[in-house]
Structure 1
């Protein structure tokens, strides 16, 4: 039986990233990009790799096929020290690819996904929960994963919700009910306002507090907002004068936040670690190119929160 800090489920994408594009191409026209990267992405990959670089042990449970892109993903994971042996492997192509265009501070995406048998994937996840031990489960807040969420809760695991923007789902009352099964949820500001029907992050965090045990609203470069016994706290972010690519900044924030929590840090300081990781990540092209290592945390962040020398509270 394997023992891990966190189990992470959900798809992994191969990302084709074009950066420093002078303007979006119009139909029938070609635009030359000044930067290019072929890498892996999606929250499952980015969070797994970012936590591994911070010295944590993630169990990566993504579905992977027998195609070239899936083999590429496996090789990239192994290079990062993340085992792919617990992936849900299928004997057919399972291509999941996104092309991203970064232009003048804005981004556009085109995504393709081969169909996945979600019932079989859910059965695999339930079986993995029988065989593996972890303190946390990161899972998409979708109805099809409720049996997996309930199984993890029965084992005493903390549920960490991820969410992607879906115009119909994000405004639904069903999502609000599902969030009550979770312990940690870190939506960005537009997501939090849409879910709660409020107009400000302060109003949103108050409503979120009634839905999930530990909500934290990501505010991008302005940091993050959370509710504590003292009231609403806004934890400042870290200034990045010339960000290269904001892809995966939220996933790197989550990796830092959960690392701090798993190490026993105060929640405000865990959020500071999340803000630091998110800020570092935007300085590279792709979701993990600039994800920091634990050595960087010790050198660059510890001077500001020295009580965690060695990783744990002194």
Structure 2
């Protein structure tokens, strides 16, 4: 079983909007939907749909938002759900306005919603083979590694990203997944290739996402680039990165190997853009595997793309 800690969230999705209205104006959307939101919540929901037994730990309050989120959650076949009831509203709500080329967001959140004690998380993750380590509780990564867990770790953008802040932590991480901007910033390099080489000194498998160029990793003194699948015309890119991560964790859990796992992940991320929101296109395992067959990796020794 895989276990995930997530914040319950709700996305109010407005699609097919021509432009953001000016102050005092109104625009009409062609599409509207209410879905559960993104982040780590996507992982157990997608993985459960793909047949992986999952458990979820989240905070909850019996409010209007809480009841709506819990009702939507029941439509997913998650094996175990643990709700910690709190005396504040832990549900993140986001209005997402999706236009032809980009999206805009308005969100409401309480930062306490994702705060758990190290002791609670260590106990929760005890029987999970693969752990997506929360950035908020970095002190648990070393104990989890000593338990024999496979550790997947990601970061969000910060203005002061620096590899020196992560050196010790990354030694316990198996898969590290920054995007190209984050990787170059934290390694103080001018190319994504150079950033991957630097990261490979500290983490077993650096996987850097590069937008339209796919993903880049470093194996056996060689750059390996996994391109995005061909023929995808995105409808909405909301949650594409989260679906990518869910696919990567699936591959790791199924022991596919790093390259096959990345190929699987590029398919889940790409397929998710065929519907609105994080869950608007409920792709199947068969679709992923068929698309994955068409991906041809590229290897090279010297800097090529950046």
Q: What band does the TM-score fall into relative to the shorter chain?
A: 0.7 to 0.9
What TM-score do the two structures reach when normalised by structure 1?
A: 0.84
What TM-score do the two structures reach when normalised by structure 2?
A: 0.86
Pairwise CA RMSD: 2.4
Q: Tell me the CA shift for residue 237 of structure 1.
A: 1.1
1:162 to 124, 134, 154: 154
Structure 2 distance, partners of 1:238, 1:120, is 38
Structure 1 distance, partners of 2:212, 2:28, is 29
1:125 aligns to 2:114 (yes or no): no
Name the structure 2 match of 1:228: 219
Name the structure 2 match of 1:268: 259
CA displacement 1:192-220 (0-9 Å, x = unmatched): 22222222221121122123221111123
Name the structure 1 match of 2:86: 90
Q: Tell me the CA shift for residue 274 of structure 1.
A: 0.7
Structure 2 distance, partners of 1:281, 1:228, is 28
Q: Tell me the CA shift for residue 278 of structure 1.
A: 0.8
CA displacement 1:270-298 (0-9 Å, x = unmatched): 11111111110010101122242223334
Query: What secondary structure is seen at the aligned counterpart in 1 of 2:287?
Result: helix
1:256 aligns to 2:247 (yes or no): yes
Query: What secondary structure is seen at the aligned counterpart in 2 of 1:26?
Result: coil
CA displacement 1:96-140 (0-9 Å, x = unmatched): 1111222231122122113417665444323323xx401111133
Structure 2 distance, partners of 1:66, 1:148, is 30
The unaligned stretches of length 5 or more in structure 1 are 306-314
Trace 1:1-314 onto structure 2 (pairs within 5 A).
4=1, 6-83=2-79, 85-116=81-112, 120-129=116-125, 132-142=126-136, 145-168=137-160, 170-171=161-162, 173-175=164-166, 177-229=168-220, 231-298=222-289, 300-301=290-291, 304=294
Structure 2 distance, partners of 1:205, 1:78, is 40
Structure 2 distance, partners of 1:29, 1:38, is 23
In the comparison of the two structures, how many residue pairs are matched?
Answer: 295
Q: Tell me the CA shift for residue 22 of structure 1.
A: 0.8
Give the conservation status (yes or no) of the 8 Å contact 1:198–1:204. yes
